[in-house]
Amino acid sequence: MVAPFLSAAALRSQAQEAAVGKTLPGPPQRVALLGARNTRLLAGFLPQAARLAGLPIELFDAPFDQIEAQILNPQSETYRFQPDIIVLLPSLDKLRAHFYGLSAPEQTHFAQAESQRVAHWCQQIAAHSPAQVILLNFEDAWDGVFGHLGTHTPGAFPYQIRQLNQALATLAQQLPQLALFDLAALTAYMGLGQIRDPSLAATVGLPFTPDFEAALAQGLARMLAARAGRLRKCVVLDLDGLLWGGTIGDDGLAGIQLGGSGPGKAFWDLQRWLQQLQRRGIILCVCSKNEPAAARLPFEQHPDMVLRLEDFALFVANWRPKPENIRHIQQELGIGLDAMVFLDDQPGERAAVRTFLPEVLVPDLPADPARYLPFLSQLNLFETPALSETDAQRTRHYQQATARATLAEAAVDMDAFLQQLQMQATIGPFQPADLPRLAQLSQRTNQFNLRTERHTEAGLQALPATTLTLQLRLSDTFGSYGLIAMLIAEPLDTETLFIRHWCMSCRVFQRGVEALTLNHLASNARAAGFRFLEGEYLPTAKNQPVADLYPRMGFAHSGENRWKLSLTDFSPLPHHIQVVAPGDLRS
């Protein structure tokens, strides 16, 4: 069972069960909580929620109501903690008290002044720390002073809070290190009347009930997990009873329920939502027990179908067990099972996938199709730290990968296949316009990621001038892969350049991209006067495919997890990729 949020008691219980005999992989995320209100309950729940999300964290809970003191003091406990993430929790109650104490003219500029204060906080944090900032926006601020006129009266507190939330959204678009947690949406979903506790707020500064603090912790844990690369990238869909009512094989095209009104509306609404996910970059696949021709018929001929065949990266319809088919889809896409969500209206099929593929997330859909979409939207399964132009092309990239696989099957050998691809690449230093995609690549890539570092757009902007960077775009006869590899190297000393970060999309494994990247790096390093390259492989549960990368490329073992390459003895590695100027790259 997957529910939007566990209660406080259920969260504690499940976290305790999950902790028995298990150590979470990877280095912990260092998280600092800075609150203008009491954060004691949240600080207790957040590590539990993070454990259930598969994320190890170390937490610093700053003293009560010390946001500005911690941010403005370069020697504060927060900066000494060296956080990866700073979570800021302002207080609506404190803002209300401050607002009521202002003059009428000052009240009309309240949102502007508060947003400027947040901008100053972010500026100060950036000056003292590379940490990403997560700021909670504000719940609804109804106070009854102006009645409903307060929604559009500049001197009303509700009006100013809504203006402030909009100003903070604009600020987050402008500042790469700032992300918003939508507290307004969460409180609206759970019901302000049910989650606020005036007595606790007045006595100990706790504005919300324990169950809401537990829900907030779970929401934050999902954001943190996404920033650590734990992302759901793919939805595998059943057909009958999910995308339309009825059974296409029995009821025929005219007998299934689908449309903008009547019993078919729930399925039509779900398809529209899935289409938005696909446009955002989530991969859609079909896994159906059906005759292939019958399964495709609604997509080809039904006038009310929203989704079409071209919206799917893979379409699998046969009578084999669904766990077997999902495993096939996973292998074809080259993603982890834990990046997949399976939706099916049949409890037996859901149970089978949970049993044989426990890494796949399988929500228990409501019995009533009208509840599918409200239920799924509240699960927030597809949290992401960033978006890029590549996302909208993701389905097309996987469709092109299928065409490449067909060519590979027909090729005599791998060399012949790579030559037939007619690959082209551009390679050079990071470009400012590509920083969002580069940050996303570092955050999403788990397999070809030698040290599993995660970078934000702000962190990439702040790299020292001595850093050497490379980014690579690739295309072939089937189309463009987009920006698929990045490398960051920095001097260890006057003779050695250290490969701090090297990651590459799994879509271009075994294409020769790693050889081209190393050749270019070696050439640049030699030109800068370095004699050696040094790399490090830090093993994780997911980056085993590159465990032997450095020795395969000629590096010699030089210490624990360390490998060294003499540039004096290095000869360029062979590959089948033509390097071209950016304007000449095949689209």
What digits encode the pLDDT tens for the residues 452-490?
A: 988 888 889 989 999 999 999 999 888 888 899 999 999
**CATH code matching the domain that covers 8-227, chosen among 3.40.50.1110, 3.30.70.2740, 3.40.50.1980, 3.40.50.300:** 3.40.50.1110
E strand or H helix at 92: helix 92-100
E strand or H helix at 497: strand 496-504
What pLDDT was estimated at residue 456? Answer: 87
Residue 176 has pLDDT above 90, yes or no: no
What pLDDT was estimated at residue 397? Answer: 65
For 583, which DSSP code? G
Answer yes or no: are the C-beta atoms of 455 and 439 closer than 8 Å: yes
**Backbone torsion region of residue 343, taken as left when φ is above 0, otherwise alpha when ψ lies between -120 and 50, otherwise beta:** beta
Q: Report d(CA 139, CA 188) in Å as an integer.
A: 8
Q: Pull the structure tokens for residue 206.
A: 């706790």
Residue 26 has pLDDT above 80, yes or no: no
Contacts for 52 with CB less than 8 Å, ≥ 6 apart: 6, 11, 14, 15, 18, 218, 221
What is the SS3 assignment for 55? Answer: coil
What pLDDT was estimated at residue 587? Answer: 67
Strands of the sheet containing 85-89, edge to edge, are: 57-61, 29-35, 85-89, 132-136, 178-181
163-172, 221-230, 340-349: segment of lowest average pLDDT: 221-230
The upper half-sphere exposure of residue 515, i.e. CA atoms within 13 Å in the direction of its Cβ, equals: 14
What percent of the chain lies above the pLDDT cut of 70?
95
Residue 1 has pLDDT above 70, yes or no: no
What pLDDT was estimated at residue 479? Answer: 81
- For the chain, the C-alpha Rg in angstroms (whole number) is 26
What pLDDT was estimated at residue 269? Answer: 95
Residue 392 has pLDDT above 70, yes or no: no
What pLDDT was estimated at residue 287? Answer: 97
86-95, 197-206, 214-223: segment of lowest average pLDDT: 197-206
- Closest-CA residue to 514 (of 499, 527, 502, 528): 502
| Confidence band, pLDDT 50/70/90 cuts, at residue 410 | low
pLDDT digits (tens, 9 = 90+) for 270-293: 999 999 999 998 999 999 999 999
Q: Which residues of 292-313 are buried (b: 16+ CB within 10 A; e: fewer)?
A: eebbbbbbeebebbbbeeebbb
Q: Report d(CA 459, CA 476) in Å as an integer.
A: 32
Residue 16 has pLDDT above 80, yes or no: yes
Higher model confidence: residue 41 or residue 417? 41
Count of C-beta atoms within a 10 Å radius of residue 358: 11
E strand or H helix at 424: strand 423-428
Residue 99 has pLDDT above 90, yes or no: yes
Dihedral in degrees, nearest 10, Cα atoms 427, 431, 435, 437: -40
What pLDDT was estimated at residue 389? Answer: 65
What pLDDT was estimated at residue 314? Answer: 94
| Confidence band, pLDDT 50/70/90 cuts, at residue 390 | low
What percent of the chain lies above the pLDDT cut of 90?
73
Contacts for 273 with CB less than 8 Å, ≥ 6 apart: 373, 376, 377
Count of C-beta atoms within a 10 Å radius of residue 131: 24
**CATH code matching the domain that covers 234-379, chosen among 3.40.30.10, 3.60.9.10, 3.40.50.1000, 3.90.470.10:** 3.40.50.1000
Q: Average pLDDT in the 51-55 region? A: 90
SS3 per-residue string spanning 151-198 = HCCCCCHHHHHHHHHHHHHHHHHHCCCEEEECHHHHHHHHCHHHHECH
| Confidence band, pLDDT 50/70/90 cuts, at residue 17 | confident
Q: Report d(CA 173, CA 284) in Å as an integer.
A: 28
Contacts for 548 with CB less than 8 Å, ≥ 6 apart: none
- pTM (2 d.p.): 0.76
What pLDDT was estimated at residue 262? Answer: 84
Residue 409 has pLDDT above 80, yes or no: no
Q: Report d(CA 107, CA 18) in Å as an integer.
A: 49
Q: Pull the structure tokens for residue 222.
A: 């999902």
Higher model confidence: residue 249 or residue 88? 88
What pLDDT was estimated at residue 447? Answer: 87
Q: What is the domain class of 412-584 according to CATH?
A: alpha beta
| Confidence band, pLDDT 50/70/90 cuts, at residue 571 | very high
Q: Average pLDDT in the 106-120 region? A: 96
Q: Pull the structure tokens for residue 121.
A: 């906080």
Residue 171 has pLDDT above 90, yes or no: yes
Q: Report d(CA 155, CA 102) in Å as an integer.
A: 10
- Write phi, then psi, for 474 (nearest 5 degrees): -135, 145
- Closest-CA residue to 57 (of 9, 24, 21, 11): 24
Higher model confidence: residue 39 or residue 388? 39
Q: Where are the domains of the chain?
A: 8-227, 234-379, 412-584
Q: Average pLDDT in the 86-97 region? A: 95
8-227 shares its CATH topology with 412-584: no
The CA angle 446-447-453, to the nearest 5 degrees, is: 40
Computed over every residue of the chain, the mean pLDDT equals: 91
Residue 443 has pLDDT above 90, yes or no: no
Residue 406 has pLDDT above 70, yes or no: no
| Confidence band, pLDDT 50/70/90 cuts, at residue 510 | confident
Q: Report d(CA 444, CA 355) in Å as an integer.
A: 27
Residue 316 has pLDDT above 80, yes or no: yes
pLDDT digits (tens, 9 = 90+) for 28-46: 899 999 999 999 999 999 9
Higher model confidence: residue 403 or residue 413? 413
E strand or H helix at 327: helix 322-333
Q: Average pLDDT in the 95-117 region? A: 96
Answer yes or no: are the C-beta atoms of 209 and 195 closer than 8 Å: yes
Q: Pull the structure tokens for residue 287.
A: 């896994």
What pLDDT was estimated at residue 481? Answer: 84
